[in-house]
Amino acid sequence: MEDYSREDEGCPQLLDLIAKGGEWVGKSAVERSHGTSEEKKLELRLAPPGGEWSFEESYATISRERDGLFSLGPCPQNTVLKPPSPWQQQQQQHLQTSYLHPVRRESSQLCSNRAAAAAAAETKAFSVANTAVHNTAQKRTAPASVVGWPPIRSFRKNIASGSSSKQASDSPDGAPRKVSTVENCPRTPFVKINMDGIPIGRKVDLKSYNTYEKLSFAVDELFRGLLAVQKKLCSGGIKDEGDGVEKIGGLLDGSGEYTLVYEDHEGDRMLVGDVPWHMFVSTVKRLRVLKSSELSALSRGPKQGKISMNN
Amino acid sequence: MAYSFPEEVLEHVFSFLSSARDRNTVSLVCKSWYEIERWCRHRIFVGNCYAVSPEIVIRRFPELRAVEMKGKPHFADFNLVPEGWGAYAYPWIAAMAEAYPFLEEIKLKRMVVTDETLELISKSYKNFKVLVLTSCEGFTTDGLASIAANCRHLRELDLRESEVEDLSGNWLSDFPDSCTSLVSLNMSCLGSEVSFSALERLVARSPDLRTLRLNRAVPLEKLANLVRHAPQLVELGTGAYSAEIRSDTFSSLADAFSACKQLKALSGFWDVVPSYLPAVYSVCSGITSLNLSYAAIPSSDLVKLISQCQNLQRLWVLDYIEDSGLEALAASCKDLQELRVFPSDPFGAEPNVSLTEQGLVSVSEGCPKLESVLYFCRQMSNAALIAIAKNRPNFIRFRLCIIEPQAADYLTLEPLDTGFGAIVENCKELRRLSMSGLLTDRVFKYIGTHAKKLEMLSIAFAGESDFGLHHVLSGCDSLRKLEIRDCPFGDKALLANAEKLETMRSLWMSSCSVSFGACKLLAQKMPRLNVEVIDERGPPDSRPESCSVERVYVYRTVASRQRLDMPDFVWTLEEDSSMRYALYVLEALVLFQRWFACLLQFRWKLGTLPLKQEENWLELLKMSTIFTLAELSFTNKDAIFNVIFIRLWE
């Protein structure tokens, strides 16, 4: 049956219609808008690989232009805009006149808005389009800031950071969660924090902070009172602090009386503040507030070591 | 031919066909074979739960005993599918509860299963035997308790990698004492402690137990007791593999293991203390599958363990194994078929271990049967990929993840096109490919040209233009699943290859440049495709049509395209059923034209066409033009009907 339909050239319209079942609608639709002469130029075809010629034709022009733009970091927006603009406009009109079948919300107002906005929006279209690809092309982002990359299931992320097993999931019929942008903090966030000279430690929830400054402030708040009490006890009440208590400052920059250090998952003691916050949260196991004077004494001793926490 | 064999004979013949594909083919031979086959089909696999509706399945296959189904697309594993998207198991279970009271097996993957669903399963099917929930979510241990309590003949309960809300470990005690049929129990994904005595009693009274995968909360000291109760185990997943180093614990463990003569697979090994690893040495020679992907074991200890496993076929391990460990693996495990190397610190900016492309090259050189690889690393070169491809042309699955997106060949700074090109060119049987690193359109040209057996392709941060996507869609003949994220692919390639999409199970594109207009157009043109626009920014028609959508998920379906459980961030084309009817009528008329026109042509060629019929020919031409014009004005269905009726009865 196919053989016969292809041979006859006499009635192109009918034969084209019956040649490929899926094609007929698209072709004739555009026909109506733009006349048969432009048929051949159209790239908007639903034909299977037979339609490749249209790509080859414009490939030549595009590849020439593309080579000029080619760099190690592909700029997707530019290349996608390259297809000749008549096609763009054809598509726009094509869409407006034939397919007034809006999705979900049907309103004529939307249609007219679209018609007006379409032309204006065309130039802005690809800048409005997601910039995720563009961004990653331009700069080397750390993997942690891209959703779902590297492609590891949440199970493995938990295990890899050495935490306890998987957190319980939300209730089954809970409201849809927004997909979080940073997913490398799956561990239980409560870590122990001890301070030199204070026998009782505290626990802090690292998830409730997102900067080192906030952590430092929280440490200050946690231990300020305890420190004052301790000092009082030690000095036997000679120095009467009254109600005012000293702020514990300079934890991060080494300028204060105390310095904040932490123990990571490998057991090494590290100074707080070197790595980005999210990385810190994923590697920290416990925190410690040391006297700054002790710090310099330690640095002369064994380097990264499994220093006993009980000084 | 159908009447030369009685039905029973054909049924018997069909009973030897286990593959679903074979059975599908058989059912297409003729109507009677279709009928016979559908009455004797007992197992069904639904690759996409939205491709078909429960009613259709039940209507066609009245005698099912085992159902296997998949829900969310693969990229849901990496949080790319927003919560609440769908894939609910309940409607299926509820429908099947009525239709298949003798259902025995349910296997679900990436679906949302609630406690109500589990309870319904446990109460509806009297003979229920097998429940496998892979990467499912939405249920709690209460649901498990109802399964344990009510399924008298339960054989398999496998919760691999599902997200279970752990309310308590007591559910295990709900297995009645009369339950002795357990063959497989996998609870490795659970967090909380289960009652150990209940577990021990359960294991002790299950003589057929072949697979036992414990969760992390089962301490090492208790492992020996369990293993001793079940020396017939074939697959064992330990709990936490750490304890204070004590010789009695060690010897007890080693003794217990040495009694397991049939042990073939080991997994678990959370929190490993390497000194306890030698306890399993006695079973190593029989081990074919080793999953150490949760075990932080230094390379030297890994090598000691692996070199004992001469018959190893499958190894999953963390990158602590390093290049040196992989070299040792290549030297000792010549039967290795599958290797997966996972990253221990995927989010660190700097490498924490010495694992490079060299490890994979060594394994590809040394293991002649290697056919499946999943490899995470931080650097790759075209030279390495070409070497790997030359060493191992028998790859079936090749998944490479270079942790840094768009990382170039670290030696030459070129894209990795030639490397992956070599893979697809040399590995003619390649069925699954995942790519990463810096890739231009060229790699897609290679894929389209060579990867003729490729069934699943995963692409991220790759390509430069629509030609990339076009090469893949037009060239890969066997493509079934295509998933793309963050690539500059837009409307052109998608629309030009719209028909290809109907031959595939699904296409996922997120953070690409597909416009809403194109999605609508695709949905309108291809009525058997469901084009889901998944966008959390609000209704897509509140933005210009040329604006890209966040995600689009296209899949073929014979069910309604407006699924009832769509959340508010998913949009599909609204359907007017009377419009559909009009379309069907038009399609039928076009077919009629075709037949008639061909008939006329045939007559013309034979020179017997009278003038009168030539007039008919022109009339037909006129008719066809008018039909096509009429089809366009979708909004005016009256016009369509008028035209049809007028033309037809004039």
Of B404, B574, B590, the CB nearest to A103: B574
Residue of B nearest to A177 (CA): B83
Gap from B392 CA to chain A (nearest CA, Å): 25
Of residues A136 and A210, more confidently modeled? A210
Distance between CA B237 and CA B312 in Å, rounded?
16
Whether cis (ω within 30° of 0) applies to the bond prior to A150 is yes
* pLDDT average, residue stretch B289-305: 94
B191: closest CA of chain A, how far (Å)? 5
Residue type at position B200: E
Residue pLDDT, tens place only, B546-600: 999 999 999 999 998 888 899 999 998 876 555 556 656 666 676 676 666 666 6
Contact status of A13 with chain B (Cβ, < 8 Å): yes
pLDDT in tens, B598-614: 666 655 554 554 545 55
> What pLDDT shows up at residue B200?
94
Which residue among A29, A59, A133 sits closest to B488, beta carbon to beta carbon?
Answer: A133
Closest CA to B524 of B563, B484, B495: B495
The token duo for B255 is 């003794």
**A9 CA: distance to closest CA in chain B (Å):** 11
Contact state of B521 with A100 under an 8 Å Cβ cutoff = no
Chain A CB contacts of B344 under 8 Å are 160
Query: For residue A305, what pLDDT is reported?
Result: 39
Contacts of B572 in chain A (CB under 8 A): 103
**DSSP H or E run through B140:** strand B137-140
Q: Please state the rounded mean pLDDT for residues B412-438.
A: 96
**Interface size, chain A vs chain B, as Cβ–Cβ contacts under 8 Å:** 309
Residues of A in contact with B537 (CB under 8 A): none
Task: Report if pTM > 0.80.
Answer: no
| B550 with A130: Cβ contact below 8 A | yes
Residue A302, Cβ density class (10 Å: 0-12 exposed, 13-18 middle, ≥19 buried): exposed
For chain B, give the percent of residues with pLDDT over 70: 88
Q: Is the distance from CB of A206 to CB of A191 less than 8 angstroms?
A: yes
Which residue in the set A29, A114, A184 is minimally distant from B632, CB to CB? A29
> What span, in angstroms and rounded, lies between the C-alpha atoms of B140 and B113?
9
Q: Rounded to the nearest 5°, which phi and psi values hold at B395?
A: -65, 135
Residue A302 has pLDDT above 90, yes or no: no
Report the residue from A1, A133, A166 with minimal CB separation from B163: A166
Long-range contacts of range A171-174, CB-CB < 8 Å, 24 or more positions apart? Answer: A171/B165, A172/B112, A172/B114, A172/B115, A172/B137, A172/B138, A172/B139, A172/B140, A172/B165, A173/B114, A174/B83
Query: Mean of the pLDDT values across residues A216-222?
Result: 84
Q: Are A275 and A302 in contact (CB under 8 A)?
A: no
Q: How confident is the model at residue A11 (pLDDT cuts 50, 70, 90)?
A: very low
Which residues of A fall within a CB distance of 8 Å from B77? Answer: 151, 153
Residue of A nearest to B166 (CA): A168
Find which of B177-181, B385-389, B610-614 is predicted with most confidence, using mean pLDDT: B385-389
Check CB contact of A62 with chain B, cutoff 8 Å: yes
Q: How confident is the model at residue B478 (pLDDT cuts 50, 70, 90)?
A: very high
H helices within B483-633, ranges in order? 491-496, 498-501, 516-525, 577-605, 611-632
B184 vs B352: which has the higher pLDDT: B184
Q: Which of B379, B486, B536, B599 would best serve as a mutation to test chain A binding (most A beta carbons within 10 A)?
A: B486
3-state secondary structure of B376: strand
Quick check: A30 pLDDT over 70? no
| Interchain contact, A13 vs B621, CB within 8 Å | yes
| Residues B573, A49: C-beta atoms closer than 8 Å | no
Residue B525, φ and ψ in degrees, nearest 5: -75, -30
Contact A153 B544 (CB under 8 A): no
Distance from CA of B62 to the nearest CA of A (A): 31
- Comparing CB atoms, the residue among A26, A133, A278 nearest residue B486 is A133
CB contact under 8 A, A114 and B544: yes
